[in-house]
Amino acid sequence: MTAGAPSQPRHFVGRDGTRLTADVWGEASAPPLVLLHGGGQTRHAWDRTGPRLAALGWRVVAPDLRGHGTSGWSADGDYDVDLFADDVRALVAELGGRPTLVGASLGGLSALLAAGEAPRAAIRALVLVDVAHRPDPRGVRRIIEFMRRRPDGFADVGEAAAAVSAYLPHRPAPDDPERIRHNLRRHGDRWVWHWDPRLLDSFEGRVDPPGMAERLLAAARHADVPILLVRGGISDVVRDDIAEEFRDRVPHARRVDVADAGHMVAGDRNDHFIDAIVPFLEAHATAPRPGVSVRRVR
């Protein structure tokens, strides 16, 4: 498979046999790179990022987290972050090759715990996309309010696209509103978001639980891999002071901000996001096989 080819589907097995669906770009011999989306998103959050990174010489794997997209749902409706972390461990073990993990929001929390708590996932480096040890509760509540806003769904795809545009006024309107169809599923004669609605019950009770900040900082310090924190320059979830505290308390962590990007950094400013992470990947992910040049994206 060439880097410019369409993604290929693959399935992994998470904790308790939960089936995880993933898109894969790039050649099998290229160094592996796993993209983990945020809560309430699907693997299609990386539809622009995955092919671009594959073209630069990585084999990119973007799974749907449990309860999202076409991956399995938790039978009992439990979506504790430890379940997501165990799914990441299982995926990394099945994939092999010590991949680099790039995790946004919930995907970043899951990756951080998988990398820094026993049993530690065998990875090469970790990129945290607008997630640190402590969120701003106001930003998280805004996300949850949006996710809860339309429990009855939408009459058509255009209505869903309009809702997203109203929620993200700083982001230019999409050229093709139909792209949002990947994040929706049919429910009767309506379109609803492509996640298990029970996710919200887990999220709402765990905005910033006691002890979690210190647990995440400990995991980051114990993760024996380079860490890059990519913060959205106008994020309302990871404040500047929180990002600085994370960098100060995790000696091997670096930080970069992506200007004019909110919490959904890759979706807001994809080219600038790629440009921000490629130097870190060049330095810390396995160099691509001979004959393939990894280069900056401008």
DSSP 144-164: HHHHHS-TT-BSSHHHHHHHH
**Given pLDDT bands bounded at 50, 70 and 90, which one contains residue 210?**
confident
Q: Is residue 286 predicted with pLDDT exceeding 80? A: no
Contact in structure between 60 and 26 (CB atoms under 8 Å): yes
| Confidence at 291, pLDDT banded by 50, 70, 90 | very low
| Residue closest to 263 by CA, chosen among 243, 290, 291, 289 | 243
Tokens at 133, concatenated: 């040890």
Q: What is the mean pLDDT of residues 111-126?
A: 98
Mean pLDDT in residue range 229-249: 97
Q: What is the mean pLDDT of residues 159-171?
A: 90
Q: What's the pLDDT band for 5 if we cut at 50, 70, 90? A: low
Residue (of 100, 63, 70) closest to 84 by Cα position: 63
pLDDT of residue 209: 84
Confidence of residue 206 (pLDDT cuts 50, 70, 90): low
Per-residue pLDDT at 256? 98
* Minimum mean pLDDT range among 30-34, 132-136, 149-153, 240-244: 149-153
Q: Scanning the structure block, which residue is given the tokens 């979830």?
A: 237
What's the confidence (pLDDT) of residue 202?
A: 80
216 pairs with which residues across the strands?
A: none
Name the DSSP class of 122: -
- 109: pLDDT strictly greater than 50: yes
**Res. 261 pLDDT band, cuts 50 70 90:** very high
Residue range 133-162: mean pLDDT, rounded: 92
How much is the mean pLDDT over the chain?
91
Rounded to an integer, the average pLDDT of 14-37 is: 96
b/e 57-87 (16+ beta carbons within 10 angstroms → b): bbbbbbbbbbbbbbbbbbeeeebebebbbbb
Q: What is the pLDDT of residues 72-91, one digit of tens each?
A: 999 999 999 999 999 999 99
Give the C-alpha distances (Å, rounded to integers) separating 157 from 11, 170, 276, 295.
27, 21, 32, 37
